[in-house]
Structure 1
Amino acid sequence: MSFSTTVLTLTTGSTETVTDLTRHCEDFLNRSAQGADGLLNLFVPHATAGLAILETGAGSDDDLLSALHHLLPADDRWQHRHGSPGHGRDHVLPALIAPHATLPVLGGRLELGTWQSICLVDTNKDNRERQVRLSFLS
């Protein structure tokens, strides 16, 4: 068994974002998996961000943000009230979009579907710096 890990540091900016991490994951696996089978685990150590597997570039990322606006409006209904108006909803996000994901790796390559991408979902406009831990276990 072998284990390798690294931390990505990303700047997501001051708007709600869906950031594609697939290329980062592939680069990490090229360095650490070296053709092995195993599991890639991603973890976001933040209380206001999550990870999603979805199609990007065809509008699905914008559709996801739109759906989150509908489910979690950025208004004053939330008990958690520090930060930007409606920031309490950002703290509910990880209950709907988990801060972790585990994916199969075969022959050192991610086993994603044709249109699937690994994405960081961040609705928190107050915290621009994000970390994502990537870990490979074989």
Structure 2
Amino acid sequence: MTHALYSRLLDIHTGSHETVVDLTRDLETFLASAADDRDGLLNVFVPHATAGIAILETGAGSDEDLLAALHDLLPADDRWRHRHGAPGHGRDHVLPALVPPHATLPVVGGTLELGTWQSVCLVDTNRDNPNRQVRASFLG
């Protein structure tokens, strides 16, 4: 069996507010052309020091709950030593320790294997950077 690596960079506009962006459809579109009905692994990586990738339910309030929990854990105030950017921006640099900048997911028959309510999401609390890139890589 021949294995191949396919990779694509996704440009995501996150705006100037803390946000959770559902990437699932973009990743399914990528897999439709890259996986060709094969089994393999999808790696999702955000090459930014202030964003992460999370697997969670969206649309039922969990995305807002995640942002609220992160705000409680990482308040946007002046306690942070990392002080450039908007007030409290230092906390954005701590985010990837809690919400990692990557996820690796199974692909079966060219389809992303997620649970019924799971979505792959970009988590961005950095209000100073409205544009992000996400690298999707399929190995199969």
Query: TM-score, normalized by length of structure 1?
Result: 0.99
- Stretches of structure 1 lacking an aligned partner (at least 5 in a row): none
1:42-61 → structure 2 map (5 Å cutoff): 42-61=44-63
1:114-129 → structure 2 map (5 Å cutoff): 114-129=116-131
* AA of the residue aligned to 2:90: G
- Stretches of structure 2 lacking an aligned partner (at least 5 in a row): none
Query: TM-score, normalized by length of structure 2?
Result: 0.98
Structure 1 residue ranges, 4+ long, deviating more than 6 angstroms after superposition: none
The question of 1:90 aligning with 2:92 is answered: yes
Q: Deviations over 1:63-104 (max 9, x none)?
A: 000000000000000000000000000000000000000000
The question of 1:9 aligning with 2:15 is answered: no
* AA of the residue aligned to 2:65: D
d(CA) in 2 for partners of 1:132, 1:7: 6
The question of 1:105 aligning with 2:104 is answered: no
**Identity of aligned pairs, percent?**
72
Corresponding residue for residue 80 of structure 2: 78
The question of 1:64 aligning with 2:88 is answered: no
Q: Deviations over 1:21-46 (max 9, x none)?
A: 00000000000101000000011000
How much is the aligned-residue C-alpha RMSD, in angstroms? 0.3
Corresponding residue for residue 135 of structure 2: 133
d(CA) in 1 for partners of 2:134, 2:90: 22
